[in-house]
Each structure stands twice: as C-alpha cells, then as structure tokens.
Amino acid sequence: MTTTHAPYRRLFVENIHPRVLVSPDELPALKARAKTGLNARALAEVVRRSHLWTDPDSPQRIDPALGLEAAKKRSDPVLGGELHQAIHALGFAYAFTGNKLWADRAVPLLRMMCAKGVDETDFYATTSDGALPIAYDLLAPGLSADDRRFVEVYLRRGIELYEAGVLNRTGTLWGLGTNLFFHTFELYVMQLAAVFDNVTDWPRLDKINELIRMGIHHGLDEGGAIYEGPSYGTGDAAWISTVAEVLLRAGVADLWTEEPKFAAMVRHWAYLILPGMRGQNPIGDAWRYKKGHPHWAAALHAARLNDDALWWVWEQMRSRTTQGPPGEEQPMPEFIEYRLGWTLLYENEAARVVTPGQAGWPSARNSGSFGVITMRSGWQDDDLYFSLLAAGRTPGCCIHQHVDAGHFSLFALGEAFSIDTGYGDAMGKFHSVLMPYGDEPRAAPHGFDHMWNGGRVQSFAAGKKADYACVDVHDAWECRWALRGALTVRAAGAEPYVLILDDFNPSPTLASFLWLMNSEPGNRVEIDAQAERVTVQGKRNRLELAWSHPGPADYPVEHRVELDTDTIDSMGLPHRTEGVNYFHGSAGASWPRGGGRWGAGMRPRVKALLYGYNGQLLTALLPRRAGTPAVGVQRIFAPAQFGLTLDHGNGVIDTVVASPISSGLDIGGITGEARLAVVRRDGSGKVVWWAAAEAFTLAIDGKTVLPRRGEVRTLVESA
C-alpha cells in the first residue's frame, strides 16, 4: 500500500518536472549552493562539457546527422561514453542555469537516442541509457510537448522490456542483493519516475518497494556490510539509495527509517575507511577508491539521516579533495567520470563534518554475519587501524568472494603494513592469512568463479583499552578446526599494537602452516632469523613482528618457525585472454606501461612457515616510530601454553600468554583459565593494566583479579 509521508508526492500526482531526484522547490537553494566551492567547480565543468559536445564550433561536437552508431563509437579517455555524458551535462546545465540553449541543444541528441529504441527487443538496450531518465527529468520543462512525448515513448518501452525480461521472469528469485541486478533495477526505477503515470504506475512503485527490500535483506549483513565488498558495494549503495530516494519522494516508503540494514549501510563505511585518506579497506573484488567515482550514497545518507559523521565518510573517500598519500591522489571534481551533476544535488560544503569518534561511535565493530571486524585506536591519520575478516558467505551473494577467511589488515603511524591487495587478487596467497601446508584450499576457485567457503565470527567484544575477536575459518581452510583470534592493545604507556593467535589443525600428523602478510608496495622487509624477528620498514616508521609457539615438551616433534620474504605481483589482465589459468597462474614481475594489472601491484610479503602437529602461533605486530628503539622480546613457554614478554621501553613491560587448547594459564605470574591474556607492568613490576580473552578466571602475581564464574567472558580488562 502506498503512503503519503513524503512532501514530494504531489510532483508525481500532478506530473511536475523535475521530480526524480530534485524538485522545482529545491532548485533555488541548490543553485545558491552552486556559487561556491566544489559545487561551483562542478557547475562550471557541467557547462564546459555541454559546450564541448554541442557547440557547432567545437571539434568534439556530437553531430546527430551522423547517426546513433557513429555517436556511440566516440569515446573520451577520461569521461567515457560522450553521448551519455553530453545528455547528463545538458540536463544539469539547463536545470542549474535556466538557459534554454541547453534544452534546445539537447533535443537533437535526445531524438537520436530515442528514435530506434521503440522497436528494440533487448531490454538491456534501454536500461543501459543511465543518463537519459535523469537528464530528461531535468530538461522536461524546456522541451516541447512533442519532444517530451518522443522521449517518453522510448522510456516507457524500456520499462515494459525490463519488466518482461527480468522482473516477470525471475519473480521472487530477483536479485537477492547482487550488483548486476541493482544497477539495471535502479535505471528501471529512474525511467519509471521520469515518465510516471498517476493512474497506472502506483502498483509498479509498490512492487519496487517490495523488491528493493528483498535486495537489502539478502545483500547486506546485520550491520549493513554489503556481501560483495565495498567496491561493487559503492555502486550498490548508490543504486539502492537512488531507488530509496524515488520511493521517498513518491510517498511510498522511507527506507531510512523502515529498514535498519539500509540505515546502517553507509554508516558501515566509517569502519572501512583507512587512515590518512587512503580510501576504503578493499575487501573482496575492490579498490581502495575508484578514481572519478565519489561515494554518492555517503552524501545522500548524511543528508537523509542528518548524520554529521557520514559527511566525514564522504570527505575521507576523497569526494572533495586530492589529499592523500603520495601516489594515491584522487582527481579533482572536474574530472569526475561518473554522474558529475549529482555533486550539485548532494555536496554541501556548509555541512558539519565530525569524525565517528567525535560523534560518540565505538572504535571497534563487527559488521555481522559477513564478519568485517575493525578495531581502531582512534580516528586520526596516524592511529592504529586493524581489521579481521571472517568472510561469511550467503546464498544471496554468490560473486566477488576471495580466499580471504581470516585475512587481516594493519595501518598505523601513517603507514600501511598489512593490506588487502584488492581487485582480482582472489587466491589466498594474495592475502594475510594462515595457509595449512602453504597450499590454496581445494575449494578455492579453479576458473572464473568464486570462493564459496567462508568463515564465521565466533566471538567479538570491544573494551576500553583493548578489543578482541575470534573467527572460525575451518571450513574455508579445510581443517578439523581453524581459529584466528586477535587482541588489540591500546592501553597507555606504549604504542597500540596487535596480538594474533592462530590455532589450526588439518590432520593428526605433522604439518606445515604458512603465515602470510602481504605488505604495501614500496615497503622493505628485514629478517632476523635467529631471533625469530621481522621488521617491515615503511616510508618513515616501521612494524616489528615477533612470534611464539608451543614449547619443546608439548609434542613428539618440536614446533619451529622459518622466516622468509618475497615479492609478489597482482594478477595481470592478460591471464583472462591468453589461456593462462586466471587464478593459479603467475603474474609478470613488472608493471607494464599503461597498466595491465588489477590489485595493488608488486609488493613484499612476510612469510613465517610453522612446522608442527598443530598450527598454534602467537604473533605480535608492533608499530614503532622512527628513531625509537626496538621492542625487547623474549619467548616464554610452559606445558600447553606459550607467550612473549614485550619490553616497550620507558619501564613498560607486557607479559602475553596464550593457551589455545586448554585455556590453562600458569606462566609469567599469570594463572587461571583464559585463551589469551596480557598483563602490563611498570619498571617496578607493579601491574598497571591487564586484559584477558575467552576467560573464566584470572590471577596475577597470586592476586585474583577475575573471580571464577561459570560462564566465559569474551573480553575482560582492568579499569
């Protein structure tokens, strides 16, 4: 049933244009906003493009007399398809300047685009015209009744073809949250909104309302994380939000208040943002950012939810600035490839921008069943950012899944130390994971398909000075059990750091376990094999790594670790066309001139090969500033438990103990029952802070700090 809770419904009832994404009443304020800042630059570029493709004296003029096929063949290396870009620019130029010249120049292009479509039988031919419905909606007040009817016949035909070819054919199996459906569905909805008939089309909007909710329910986890990952997800978020905006404006539904997953969708991005304006954590088939493709949904959600922290997401995704690490500059708005005019609708330089921390958001979060776990020491550029991925799977999204269950990323001190290497790098070797026997799992992709086997979050808790999570990834890595836990430590007295505890068992026999960390291109790896230490040198600061594992008395054959490093490239585009196995083939050693690579490109890896009956390994990831001494590390162990002492300097010493099988602790002055514990002491040996994970009871230096209870506590720490 339709409702009437939106103030724009009369636009649809009375057939007023524009109405799809903006109304005549909203335009004056938007025009005023377009006089300064990013909006002014965007409007100037819209007008420039309109001149470029329609001015009779322009060498790049699109000549309608040459026909549609000739126009489609023309392209621009920055802007893509010129015809669609021209229509897009003309629509916004007319709406924001009021100059009828742009409507008049649009008519020949509109007629050329729409002349053939009436007889088209393939619904993709009409739904691919993404610029057309918005441009038509903006241009309509300046078009004659005959020109409007000509375009409307074409758009209406597209609606009918899409319904017959997709919606009526797929029924309740529609979409289920995958990007290919969301993209064409958004275009269908914009077409319908542009030519809406008050008598016949309300049932269509009700059906759209039903289907988009299905997509939200099956394509997002409980916290709003998009199962396809944030790269395709950036498109998903924009496309879903466009549909939501149309439904809101038509008075059919307010998905921002009625669908919790949808309301959380862009808020989840705050936890994907990498420090230093590096864009997003590229989980799955993703880039850190798409050049020329601002995160439109962030700005729209910021306005609809009245959420200042979402303007921070918009800003951090470099929608306003070229600021970023060297070599990762984002093009300025005049080079935005995708829907430039939308900047004029959504950007608001006067909006208040606050970090999520300033807004009171927690610094650690688990997204839900997808298991995107993030833990931060703060929201500034040099704060620690750690992510752990369970890589949950769902039948609702069966594409763009990597061999990445248990992958971790680590950014700290303005450096990138452990990274997700991004698009196309599907196999486990491209991720920071633990690989039994050093091999890809048998369930890994063997062609152009995807990784169906993922993991799940076993436990998660956010504390005041520590955060903890554990993911169960045994199915993905084909083990009897496979647990990866992580504890971030951010108590006062030392740089924040991370502890990772792995506990894998693929068989009852001796095995090997390859601990991998893919690092940032340009970093340098230094190994001290005797001390079982590794240092990763960033551009200025560094990351120190140390390991501990079961002692010599625990198993018939003693565990040992061999450290190594190598360089690895991202997969190359030629592998899809030259018959080389795309996933298991090797990529070239150099980045070819002009591109040819997906992912992050050439980069160093840290490799710690553990031999033993069990893949039990404790790793300390210790960021250190330039000029500071190394952390003093000593390995400690006792039956069924092992750990490290970490001397941070300045009289601060941490004792870390792990007991992955029995949870029984009796080492380093720590006794009790917990899977992982850390105790910080000052130079006099006084305990100043402690934390324990998966704990029942704990005593330090003979003093009980956690009385026994009959239930486990995921994370507990001192005040």
CA angle 341, 343, 349 (to 5 degrees): 150
The span from the CA of 192 to the CA of 20, in Å, is 9
Q: Are residues 197 and 104 in the same domain?
A: yes
Output the pLDDT for position 123. 55
Output the pLDDT for position 334. 55
Q: Coil, strand, or helix at residue 148?
A: helix
Last residue of a domain, one of 627, 659, 678: 627
115-159 pLDDT, tens digit each: 875 555 555 556 566 789 999 999 999 999 999 999 999 999 889
Torsion 89-91-92-97 (CA) sign: positive
Which pair of tokens denotes residue 487? 């504890």
Q: Coil, strand, or helix at residue 668?
A: coil
658-685 pLDDT, tens digit each: 999 999 999 999 999 999 999 999 999 9
Output the pLDDT for position 121. 52
Domain around 255: 9-346
Average pLDDT, integer, range 603-611: 97
Q: Are residues 381 and 493 in the same domain?
A: yes
The span from the CA of 187 to the CA of 168, in Å, is 17
Q: Coil, strand, or helix at residue 245?
A: helix
**Is residue 657 in some structural domain?**
no
Parallel, antiparallel, or unpaired for β 524-528 and 533-537? Answer: antiparallel
Output the pLDDT for position 657. 98
98-126 pLDDT, tens digit each: 999 999 999 999 999 888 755 555 555 56
The band of 279, judged by pLDDT with boundaries at 50, 70 and 90, is: confident
**Is residue 682 in some structural domain?**
no
β strands within 428-559, DSSP E = 434-436, 456-462, 466-472, 481-489, 497-505, 511-518, 524-528, 533-537, 542-548
Q: Are residues 337 and 470 in the same domain?
A: no
116: domain CATH number?
A: 1.50.10.100
- Cis-peptide, bond into residue 18, ω within 30° of zero: yes
Q: What is the DSSP string of 232-297?
A: HHHHHHHHHHHHHHHHHHTTS--HHHH-HHHHHHTGGGGGTBPTTT--B---SS--S--TT---HH
Output the pLDDT for position 398. 76
485-521 pLDDT, tens digit each: 999 999 999 999 999 999 999 999 999 999 999 999 9
Examine the pLDDT at 333 and tell me if it is beyond 80: no
Q: Are residues 446 and 332 in the same domain?
A: no
Output the pLDDT for position 450. 82
Q: Are residues 603 and 515 in the same domain?
A: yes
The span from the CA of 296 to the CA of 248, in Å, is 17
Output the pLDDT for position 170. 67
Output the pLDDT for position 578. 44
The band of 633, judged by pLDDT with boundaries at 50, 70 and 90, is: very high
Q: Longest C-alpha distance within the chain, in Å?
A: 90
**Is residue 80 in some structural domain?**
yes
CA distances from 555 to 505, 506, 548, 551, 676 (A): 14, 16, 15, 8, 21
Asked whether the beta carbons of 692 and 468 are under 8 A apart, the reply is no
Residue 110 CB partners (closer than 8 Å, separation 6+): 87, 132, 136, 139, 143, 147, 150, 151
Q: Are residues 557 and 521 in the same domain?
A: yes
Q: Which amino acid belongs to residue 195?
A: V
Q: What is the DSSP string of 564-585?
A: EEEEEPPPBGGGGTSSS-TTTS
Which pair of tokens denotes residue 369? 């069943």
Q: Are residues 330 and 461 in the same domain?
A: no
Asked whether the beta carbons of 243 and 211 are under 8 A apart, the reply is no
Output the pLDDT for position 69. 78
**Is residue 172 in some structural domain?**
yes
Q: Are residues 98 and 166 in the same domain?
A: yes
**Phi and psi for 83 in degrees, rounded to 5?**
-60, -50
Q: Are residues 610 and 546 in the same domain?
A: yes
Looking from the CA of 663 toward its CB, the CA atoms found within 13 Å total 14
Output the pLDDT for position 371. 97
The span from the CA of 112 to the CA of 618, in Å, is 66
The span from the CA of 379 to the CA of 244, in Å, is 30
The span from the CA of 513 to the CA of 198, in Å, is 65
Q: Which of 580, 539, 545, 587 is nearest to 563 (CA)?
A: 545
Output the pLDDT for position 378. 96
Percentage above 70 pLDDT, the chain: 88
318-328 pLDDT, tens digit each: 777 766 666 66
Percentage above 90 pLDDT, the chain: 71
Q: Are residues 26 and 164 in the same domain?
A: yes
CB 10: neighbour CB atoms within 10 A? 13
| Alpha-helical regions (H) of 469-558 | none
The span from the CA of 601 to the CA of 419, in Å, is 12
81-101 pLDDT, tens digit each: 788 889 999 999 999 999 999
371-400 pLDDT, tens digit each: 999 999 999 999 999 999 999 998 878 788
342-355 pLDDT, tens digit each: 999 999 999 999 99
CA distances from 395 to 176, 283, 505 (A): 8, 18, 28
Asked whether the beta carbons of 430 and 570 are under 8 A apart, the reply is yes
Q: Are residues 540 and 582 in the same domain?
A: yes
**What's the mean pLDDT when you consider all of the chain?**
89
What does the buried/exposed string (b/e) look like for 228-246 if buried means 16 or more CB atoms within 10 Å of the residue's CB?
bbbbbbbbbbbbbbbbbbb
Output the pLDDT for position 326. 62
Looking from the CA of 704 toward its CB, the CA atoms found within 13 Å total 7
Average pLDDT, integer, range 430-446: 93
Asked whether the beta carbons of 605 and 566 are under 8 A apart, the reply is yes
The span from the CA of 203 to the CA of 205, in Å, is 5
599/128: higher pLDDT: 599
**Is residue 634 in some structural domain?**
no
Average pLDDT, integer, range 539-562: 95
515: domain CATH number?
A: 2.70.98.70
The span from the CA of 618 to the CA of 501, in Å, is 5
Torsion 304-310-311-314 (CA) sign: negative
**Is residue 352 in some structural domain?**
no
The span from the CA of 26 to the CA of 12, in Å, is 15
Asked whether the beta carbons of 61 and 53 are under 8 A apart, the reply is yes
CB 191: neighbour CB atoms within 10 A? 27
Number of domains in the chain: 2
The span from the CA of 15 to the CA of 8, in Å, is 11
Examine the pLDDT at 173 and tell me if it is beyond 80: no
Q: What is the DSSP string of 132-177?
A: HHHHHHHHGGGS-HHHHHHHHHHHHHHHHHHIIIIIHHHGGGS-TT
Residue 77 CB partners (closer than 8 Å, separation 6+): none
**How far is the first Cα of the chain from the last one, in angstroms, to the nearest whole number?**
53
Examine the pLDDT at 448 and tell me if it is beyond 50: yes
Asked whether the beta carbons of 609 and 512 are under 8 A apart, the reply is yes
Asked whether the beta carbons of 274 and 281 are under 8 A apart, the reply is yes
- Burial class from Cβ neighbours inside 10 Å (0-12, 13-18, 19+) for residue 22 reads buried
Q: What letter does residue 178 receive in the DSSP assignment?
A: -
Last residue of a domain, one of 346, 381, 401: 346
Q: Which of 389, 388, 377, 390 is nearest to 463 (CA)?
A: 377
**Is residue 202 in some structural domain?**
yes
Q: Are residues 466 and 574 in the same domain?
A: yes
The band of 590, judged by pLDDT with boundaries at 50, 70 and 90, is: very low
Which pair of tokens denotes residue 706? 């956690």
Last residue of a domain, one of 285, 314, 346: 346
25-34 pLDDT, tens digit each: 999 999 999 9
**Is residue 416 in some structural domain?**
yes
The span from the CA of 17 to the CA of 140, in Å, is 6
Examine the pLDDT at 641 and tell me if it is beyond 50: yes
**Phi and psi for 242 in degrees, rounded to 5?**
-60, -45
Q: Coil, strand, or helix at residue 607?
A: strand
